[in-house]
Structure 1
Amino acid sequence: MKYIPFVYHASYSQLALPSTHRFPTSKYHNLYQHALKHQLLFEQYRQTPSPIDKEILYAIHCPLYVEQFINGTLDHKAQRRIGFPWSNELVRRTLHAVNGTRLCAELALEHGIAVHLTGGYHHAHYDFGSGFCIFNDLVIAARSAIDAKKADKVLIFDCDVHQGDGTATLTQGHSDIISCSIHCAQNFPSRKQQSDHDIDLDKGCTDSDYLDHIRQILPYLIRLHQPDLIIYDAGVDIHQHDDLGYFAISTQGILDRDKQVISIAKMHNIPLAAVIGGGYSRNEDELTLRHSQLLIAANQLWL
């Protein structure tokens, strides 16, 4: 394969938020432009998702919650817990983004690797959203791949700095979806849930410590569970200068992590669907650079 298939929709960055809001909505468009400019991705290999079908959401989420979010009738407390003010733009963005991860998983199963330029909504639970996450794209993509008989078992390998608490609760009844979260013990959410595998690392975790854990845990999980697909949340909020992260990981450390994950998946011949996950900084160029490490790693190792 001579290219990296990827998924992107313009709605990802078309969300008007107050200037004081900490969510960097521009980062998706910035990364897309950066990737094309530096030939990390190529426009002819972009796939554009359609809005997800509500029936697919109902398979993972409470139908009443789904309807209330889409129709804008969630109560103020529930909407506030999500972290975004409700708008038609938010609904449009959400429905395209969640389906984008489904599409990314399909592309990975077909081509061996694929990247989604958003995704990683791991704080979304059965009947409520939290922490900028509305519907859990990771679990939906895993369930869809299994239901379509394209995989018997899927590993969600979550390297965002925050625990994937929604993924943990949503996969507890699904023995064919394995959840692993490698996160900061002292970070959001304050009340952790039980993933199949939780790796709690302390504040100030360094490159060498972090990479040692990746090197050990991912091959172990592959041997133990023998997944047919890995959905990888490549959050960069592990960075030492991230606004919401408490780790001490360098930009080089992010690249090394991504290279490790990709090389381990490739060595075991397991398709890898990567989402860019969390990353928070007022410095847009810095944030783009951090997220682009995933694309650099993919180009170096997969092509």
Structure 2
Amino acid sequence: MLKIAFDPIYAHPLPEGHRFPMLKYELIPGQLLHEGVITPDNLFSPQPVSEEIVLWTHDRAYWEQLRDLTLPPKEQRRIGFPLSARLVERELRIAQGTIDGCHYAMEYGIAFNVAGGTHHAGSNWGEGFCLLNDQAIAANYLLKKGLAKSILIIDLDVHQGNGTAEIFEHTPAVFTFSMHGDKNFPFRKERSDLDVPLADDTDGETFLKILTETLPKLITEQKPDFIFYLSGVDILATDKLGKLKVSIADCKARDQFVLSQCKLHNIPVQVSMGGGYSTDIRDIVEAHCNTYRVANDLYF
């Protein structure tokens, strides 16, 4: 069964200027339910992750400033959201949704989080609308619990997974692969185990060529027993922040290739949705829904 973490808090209203991107968190499951790709049984609502698990990834001082709503204004501006208890709870539920998704992926091969992909959050900072790094928290959870020994994080959001790279810089059991816009945010990059910077206006054909030449080698070399996939759709040509020229069809082909590689090698994969900022919300929802459609066709 395709299991998908979703909670109404994912679409929690934010100050003016931030509400539009949040609409997708309700529209994606709504569209999939409408099409019959999923039923309500596919959706689950996660609880907040525990403080103990958060501290396996994030520094205590940073976490306590989030928890107690005492993060300095300068650090809040770096995140891009004004801090609130509701926002912190949202991040805790997203992180637990990704952890729960790992268990479902081990059972069914794949699982999703409608939100997540908060890859700009480092061990002691938040940035770019990310407070806690859901896939990093889940990866450390798997290692701590002895559920995985070798993890590959595939980050195909248009922005480098700088927080993820920093968190796992000295963790050989986690290999971080980020393929992203070279001249895009974050402008101070961290060092992933493998970074593939892309020039502005890179088209879908070029994107797919690089990916298909890179990913199979990585899987062969790293031999992961678990994969995290960050499937941001801000690579689209229609994206306001992306700077690439990838079509919706090529974005779908990207997902088809990544997920088919996971299935081919029988490696469980947890998928978090990442960014998407096209002017027309329909482009965002369609591209994200394609990831679920591909997974449903491949696995179920």
**Do they superpose with TM above 0.5?**
yes
2:96 paired with 1:99 = yes
Q: Corresponding residue for 2:235? A: 238
Q: Corresponding residue for 1:269? A: 266
Deviation string 1:57-116 (CA, Å, 9 cap, x unpaired) is: 111111111111121111100011001011222112111011111111221112111111
Report deviation, 1:281: 2.8
Q: Corresponding residue for 2:84? A: 87
Equivalent pair of 2:239/2:279 in contact (CA under 8 Å): no
Q: Mind listing any 5+ residue stretches in structure 2 that lack a counterpart?
A: none
Q: Corresponding residue for 1:181? A: 178
Superposed structure 1 runs of 4+ greater than 6 Å apart: none
Q: Distance in 2 between matches of 1:23 and 1:284?
A: 8
Report deviation, 1:282: 3.8
Q: Corresponding residue for 1:214? A: 211
Q: Corresponding residue for 2:30? A: 33
Q: Distance in 2 between matches of 1:23 and 1:199?
A: 30
1:130 is aligned, of 112, 127, 132, to: 127
Q: Corresponding residue for 1:9? A: 7
Report deviation, 1:251: 0.4
Q: Corresponding residue for 1:251? A: 248
2:64 paired with 1:67 = yes
Q: Mind listing any 5+ residue stretches in structure 1 that lack a counterpart?
A: none
Equivalent pair of 1:121/1:137 in contact (CA under 8 Å): yes
Q: Which amino acid letter does the alignment assign opposite residue 297 of structure 2?
A: Q
2:299 is aligned, of 269, 291, 302, to: 302
Q: Which amino acid letter does the alignment assign opposite residue 24 of structure 2?
A: K
Equivalent pair of 1:106/1:145 in contact (CA under 8 Å): no
Q: Distance in 1 between matches of 2:44 and 2:220?
A: 32
Q: Which amino acid letter does the alignment assign opposite residue 175 of structure 1?
A: P
Q: Corresponding residue for 1:54? A: 51
- Classify 1:48/1:22 alpha carbon distance in 2 versus 1 (closer, same or farther; 3 Å): closer
Q: Which amino acid letter does the alignment assign opposite residue 239 of structure 1?
A: L
1:172 is aligned, of 161, 169, 174, to: 169
Q: What aligned pairs does 1:143-158 form with structure 2 within 5 A after superposition?
A: 143-158=140-155
CA RMSD after TM alignment = 1.2
Q: Which amino acid letter does the alignment assign opposite residue 51 of structure 1?
A: P
Q: Distance in 2 between matches of 1:217 and 1:235?
A: 18
Equivalent pair of 2:238/2:279 in contact (CA under 8 Å): no
2:286 paired with 1:289 = yes
Report deviation, 1:23: 6.0
Equivalent pair of 1:235/1:279 in contact (CA under 8 Å): yes
Q: Distance in 2 between matches of 1:126 and 1:77?
A: 17
Which secondary structure does the structure 2 equivalent of 1:24 belong to? helix
